[in-house]
Amino acid sequence: IHTMDLYYHIRSPPCQPVVFLARHLGLEFNHIVTSIYDPADFEVLKKVNPQHTIPTLVDNGHILWESYAILIYLAEKYALDDSLYPKDVCERSIVHQRLFFDSGMFQNTTLQALLSHLRNNPITDEHLAKVKRGVEIVEMYLTDSPYVAGQKLTIADFSIFVSFCSLDMMKYDLTAYPNVQRWFAKMGTHIPDLEPT
Ligand SMILES: N[C@@H](CCC(=O)N[C@@H](CS)C(=O)NCC(=O)O)C(=O)O
C-alpha cells in the first residue's frame, strides 16, 4: 500500500479534519510538517500548491488542497462503504450543505476568533455575533439528529467538529447549546487517539 503525503501543521485547524478522518479510516500519511511562517517550508509548499495552503494532499501524484475537497476525495476513494459520504443524492446534498456552511462561513469565523483570542486582540461584537449565529445553526442541525447531516456520521461532522475545537480552545461558553455539547463529546469517540487540539 502506498503512502500519501500530507503537507500539514498540527496547529492548523483546517488540517485537523483531514487527520481525524484518516485516523477514523485507518489511513496512513507521510506527514510533511509545514510551517506557513517558515520561508523554506513555504517555498517547498508553493512548488506543490501555488495557493500555498495547508492541508495539501499528494496521493500517487494526484495533488489536492482545500480540506473539504480532501475529505470528499478520501471518503470516496478509501472508505469501505458510502456512509461517511452517502451516494444517495438527497442525503449527499445535505452533507454538501453542511460542508459549504462550514467552508463559506463557520470555519473562517471560528478560526479568526481563535487567532484574535491567542493574540490577545479584542474580538468585535459583530464578530462574536457571527460566531453565535454559526453555533445556533449547528444547534439547529442537531435538533432531531445525532449528527450534523442526519442519522449517520459523515465527513461534515469532521469539519464542523474542528470549528468547535477552535471555540473550545478559546473557552467559548456552550452551556446554552445542549445538542452541540452532546455531539461534541460524542465526536471524540469517533476519532482514535484524539489529542487535545
Ligand atoms: N479553506 C482552506 C483553508 C486553508 C488555510 O487557509 N490554511 C492556512 C493555515 S491554518 C494556510 O495555509 N495559510 C497560508 C496561506 O494562505 O498562505 C481549507 O479548508 O483547506
For residue 192, say if its preceding peptide bond is cis, omega within 30 degrees of 0: no
CA angle 112, 84, 7 (to 5 degrees): 50
Distance (Å) from CA 143 to ligand 1 centroid = 31
pLDDT tens-digit readout, 86-132: 999 999 999 999 999 999 999 999 999 999 999 999 999 999 999 99
- CATH number of the domain located at residue range(s) 89-189 in this protein: 1.20.1050.10
Ligand 1 close to Cβ of residue 44 (< 6 A):
no
Ligand 1 close to Cβ of residue 36 (< 6 A):
yes
For residue 188, what pLDDT is reported?
Answer: 86
| Residue 66 Cα: closest atom of ligand 1 | 20
pLDDT band with cut points at 50, 70 and 90 for residue 1: low
Distance (Å) from CA 28 to ligand 1 centroid = 22
Distances in whole angstroms, Cα of residue 147 to Cα of each of 20, 94, 107, 179, 186: 16, 12, 18, 10, 10
Q: Per-residue pLDDT averaged across 127-140, rounded?
A: 98
For residue 155, what pLDDT is reported?
Answer: 98
Instruction: Name residue, grid cell 442525503.
Output: 91
Residue 194: pLDDT over 90: no
Ligand 1 close to Cβ of residue 159 (< 6 A):
no
The CATH homologous superfamily to which domain 4-78 belongs is Glutaredoxin (3.40.30.10)
For residue 196, what pLDDT is reported?
Answer: 44
Distances in whole angstroms, Cα of residue 68 to Cα of each of 14, 116, 166, 172, 177: 9, 24, 17, 24, 25
pLDDT band with cut points at 50, 70 and 90 for residue 197: very low
For residue 195, what pLDDT is reported?
Answer: 55
pLDDT tens-digit readout, 10-37: 999 999 999 999 999 999 999 999 999 9
| Residue 15 Cα: closest atom of ligand 1 | 20
Ligand 1 close to Cβ of residue 66 (< 6 A):
yes
Residue 52: pLDDT over 70: yes
| Residue 14 Cα: closest atom of ligand 1 | 19
Clarify whether 12 is annotated catalytic.
yes
Q: Per-residue pLDDT averaged across 55-83, rounded?
A: 97
Q: Per-residue pLDDT averaged across 34-58, rounded?
A: 97
The percent of residues in the chain predicted with pLDDT above 70, rounded, is 97
The percent of residues in the chain predicted with pLDDT above 90, rounded, is 93
Going from N- to C-terminal start, the domains of the chain cover 4-78, 89-189
Contacts of 30 (CB under 8 A, 6+ apart): 3, 4, 5, 6
Ligand 1 close to Cβ of residue 52 (< 6 A):
yes
